[in-house]
């Protein structure tokens, strides 16, 4: 029996409707002969819309830094244009601007987009098709509805090339309030002089100690230290999505309550320097988010760090044991030959359910 389902992205349709010359209704037929249930069809339709209904943001720039390739992903944080997203390189060109004794000097022109490249001959919308079908029983098809309560886990990662002090460190060096006052006699001693918080502002932002720790999850927040790298996305792997779907359907394993720990020890994928890294601090969960902070000293993980991975820590007999259920590509060069030299690295990972 054929399965036919219509999935609509209401927000995208409304956005398009507000533009001149369109109704906002753009249709596309996606066919998959391997689907066996309405739920699977709905999930595939939602996934397709999530990828293809996004408004594309495209940037172009020139640089002397080599190594750009079509399909390469990188994080862009352009505050002036209100753009913060993971972009994919869609076009690269290069030209020689001079010849020197050390070799040719190349300048690279790069274009990148927030959506993958779309083949205009295979992904044309408004391509009208007509499908006729009969149910095996001979009865006419009836209307149905699909209820979708979206759960989206967004992970926001900021990496600092500095040594911001965490609350755990403060607790270690100032175990009492008296000692804290001796180590930090004034508020200006513990924050950036260019962006001071007053006590009135702190009290309004954080009326309780729990709220204070939630508002200022790391010492770097108060110090206003600028981050070196920014990453934002849904980094669940296919294993992570399947495990969460099993839990939501009532078929999850009992151990999954602790085996899917996205604020615990993380596996630092750094080639020969790969190792587990425990968090320095985990803030109490707020209404919809939780944050873990990790610290690497200048002499640790001396390599290119490809990704942070959270591993499934279920039963050792489970074939998914120690497989990543979440993987965050960060691509930070901490090798001995990196241009910045040795540096400490603090990584703040915040997971938000939206």
pLDDT of the residue at 188: 52
Structure confidence at residue 198 as a pLDDT band (50, 70, 90): low
Cα atoms in the 13 Å half-sphere on the side-chain side of 128: 1
Most confident among 4-18, 106-120, 176-190, 290-304 (mean pLDDT) = 290-304
How many Å apart are CA 312 and CA 266, to the nearest integer? 11
pLDDT surpassing 80 at residue 185: no
Q: What residues form DSSP beta bridges with 156? A: 232, 350
Return the closest-CA partner of residue 166 out of 344, 298, 334.
344
SS3 56: coil
Structure confidence at residue 305 as a pLDDT band (50, 70, 90): very high
DSSP state of 13: H
Most confident among 143-152, 176-185, 239-248 (mean pLDDT) = 239-248
Average pLDDT over residues 184-207: 61
pLDDT surpassing 90 at residue 267: yes
pLDDT of the residue at 349: 92
Are 216 and 222 in contact, with CB atoms under 8 Å apart? yes
Question: Picking from 74-88, 90-104, 204-218, 337-351, which range would have the lowest pLDDT averaged per residue?
Answer: 204-218
DSSP state of 273: G
Instruction: List the structure tokens of 82.
Output: 């209100």
pLDDT of the residue at 164: 47
> Can you give 196-248 as a three-state secondary structure string?
CCCHHHHHHHCCCHHHHHHHCCCHHHHHCCCCCEEEEECCECHHHHHHHHHHH
The more confident residue out of 143 and 314 is: 314
pLDDT surpassing 70 at residue 303: yes
Q: Flag whether the pTM goes above 0.85.
A: no
Are 330 and 129 in contact, with CB atoms under 8 Å apart? no
pLDDT of the residue at 262: 93
Average pLDDT over residues 276-289: 86
Q: How far apart are the first and last CA of the chain?
A: 36
Structure confidence at residue 34 as a pLDDT band (50, 70, 90): confident
Are 293 and 218 in contact, with CB atoms under 8 Å apart? yes
**Residue length of the chain:** 354
Structure confidence at residue 307 as a pLDDT band (50, 70, 90): very high
How many Å apart are CA 195 and CA 186, to the nearest integer? 15
Mean residue pLDDT of the chain comes to: 77
Q: What does the pLDDT look like over 209-262, one tens digit per residue?
A: 777 766 666 555 555 444 478 888 889 999 998 888 888 888 888 888 889 999
Instruction: List the structure tokens of 288.
Output: 């919809």
pLDDT surpassing 80 at residue 161: no
Residue carrying structure tokens 């954080």: 206
pLDDT surpassing 80 at residue 345: yes
pLDDT of the residue at 226: 46
How many Å apart are CA 345 and CA 332, to the nearest integer? 10
Instruction: List the structure tokens of 68.
Output: 């750009």
């Amino acid at each position: 029996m054929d399965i036919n389902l219509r999935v609509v992205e209401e927000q995208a349709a409304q956005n398009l409707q507000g533009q001149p010359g369109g109704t906002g209704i753009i249709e596309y037929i996606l066919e998959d002969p391997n689907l066996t249930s309405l739920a699977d069809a709905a999930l595939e339709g939602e996934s397709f819309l999530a990828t293809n209904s996004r408004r594309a943001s495209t940037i172009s720039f020139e640089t002397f830094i080599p190594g750009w390739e079509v399909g390469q992903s990188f994080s862009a944080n352009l505050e002036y244009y209100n753009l913060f997203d993971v972009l994919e390189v869609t076009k690269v060109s290069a030209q020689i601007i001079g010849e020197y004794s050390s070799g040719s000097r190349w300048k690279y022109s790069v274009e990148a987009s927030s959506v993958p490249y779309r083949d205009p001959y295979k992904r044309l919308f408004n391509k009208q098709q007509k499908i006729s079908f009969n149910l095996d029983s001979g009865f006419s098809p009836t209307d149905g509805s699909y209820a979708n309560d979206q759960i989206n886990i967004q992970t926001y990662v900021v990496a600092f090339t500095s040594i911001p002090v965490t609350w755990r460190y403060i607790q270690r060096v100032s175990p009492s309030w008296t000692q804290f006052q001796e180590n930090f006699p004034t508020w200006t001693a513990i924050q950036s002089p260019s962006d001071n918080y007053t006590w009135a502002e702190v009290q309004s932002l954080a009326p309780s100690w729990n709220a204070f720790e939630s508002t200022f999850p790391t010492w770097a927040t108060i110090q206003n230290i600028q981050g070196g790298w920014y990453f934002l996305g849904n980094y669940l792997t296919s294993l992570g999505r399947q495990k969460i779907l099993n839990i939501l359907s009532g078929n999850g394993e009992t151990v999954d309550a602790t085996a899917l720990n996205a604020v615990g020890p993380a596996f630092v994928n750094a080639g020969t320097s790969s190792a587990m890294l425990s968090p320095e601090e985990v803030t109490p969960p707020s209404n919809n988010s939780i944050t873990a902070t990790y610290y690497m000293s200048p002499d640790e993980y001396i390599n290119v760090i490809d990704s942070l991975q959270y591993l499934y820590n279920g039963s050792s007999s489970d074939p998914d044991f120690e497989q990543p259920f979440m993987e965050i590509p960060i691509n930070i060069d901490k090798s001995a030959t990196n241009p910045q030299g040795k540096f400490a690295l603090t990584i703040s990972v915040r997971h938000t359910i939206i």
